[in-house]
Amino acid sequence: MGRILRALAGEGNLRVVAADTGDVVEEARLRHGLSPTATAALGRAMTGALLLAQLLLKTPKERLTLRLEGDGPLGGVVVEADPMGGVRGYVKNPKAEVPLREDGKLNVGAAVGQGFLRVDRALPNGEIYTSTVPLVSGEIAEDLAHYLWQSEQIPSALLLGVRVKGEGEVEAAGGIAVQVLPGASEEVLGRLEANLKDFGPLTERLRKEGLEGALAALFQGLGLERTDLRALGYAENEIPARFRCRCNREKALEALVFFTPEEREDMIVKDGGAEVVCHWCGAAYRFSPEEIRSLVAEVRCPDCGALWLYPKADGTLFRIEGDTCRCGRRVELPGERRAEA
């Protein structure tokens, strides 16, 4: 299990969030069967999402989703995190690999490619706040710092790292985010810049000195003070970070309703049932013919077969957004029953 620390430095003018995510990234690697470069890309994105969740989200019900939509061989990276330390994610092409950089390091930027970073913030009322910025380098840390400046007007520095060894297993992973608050003096900023210049690779610090040692080095002379998280219910004064997916068997069965009744019957005839694999975590759910045939109370477009409505197991209804089907036909539901998608 990983961990997240929060602190202030520079006479209270630097807000700091740091995370040790080695175990979290290793679990992601094993779940998805990632190549070394895919491990580094997803690990950086997962760590970055955890840091941004601490900086930007206000309540436990909020979630933050990062989508790195580049033209590189990874095909895109998607990560979701919450302020309670939960994170999940995947890359579209988990086996993708590219040659090392000239300095011998994994070339995450080339694997991600050029494109856009999209950040979705799910608010407690269900609204989604979305920001999109161009990718600066594809190396992820620079891209997230650019997003914070462009979309949030928050001057920040981010360090993210994943170190792999042997057959690709994660040796160290983590990140540090520094947010410059209004009122920071030139002396504080100058000292921070000097420390960043002399800091070296983050994963080397994590491997040799641990997270606390890395923080002590980065904020030398800046009076780092840990935030007391025990008042928030964290007895160890740190937020546990873990790979946590929200999938379950019920949601997996509901996913089959997006296939037509004929397609579901074909699954039964050819395969004796169906298997649904969660793209977030790799969990597989197997369903019997009887379970598949229980999905009968749905409403579809009589013209194109698109799904309009179905009752979920918890008694709520799923309904497509809008009043017009994708084929142009007006959506007509029995008894005008409507529910939010």
CA-to-CA dists, residue 146 to 37, 57, 140, 152, angstroms: 22, 18, 10, 10
Task: Quote the pTM value.
Answer: 0.86
The domain 249-336 having CATH identifier 3.30.479.10: the answer here is: no
What helix, strand, coil percent values describe the chain, rounded to 5?
35, 30, 40
pLDDT tens digits in sequence order for the chain, 341 residues long: 999 999 999 999 999 999 999 999 999 999 999 999 999 999 999 999 999 999 999 999 999 999 999 999 999 999 999 999 999 999 999 999 999 999 989 999 999 999 999 999 988 887 889 999 999 999 999 999 999 999 889 899 999 999 999 889 999 999 999 999 998 999 999 999 999 999 999 999 999 999 999 999 999 999 999 999 998 889 999 999 999 999 999 888 877 877 878 888 999 999 999 999 999 999 999 999 999 988 766 677 777 777 777 766 566 666 666 677 777 777 776 554 333 33
Residues 308 and 328: their CA atoms lie apart, in Å, by 13
- Ranges for all domains in the chain classified under CATH 3.90.1280.10: 249-336
In the CATH hierarchy, which fold is given to the domain comprising 2-243? Hsp33 domain (3.55.30)
For the chain, the maximum distance between any two Cα atoms, rounded to a whole number of angstroms, is 72
Residues 187 and 259: their CA atoms lie apart, in Å, by 62
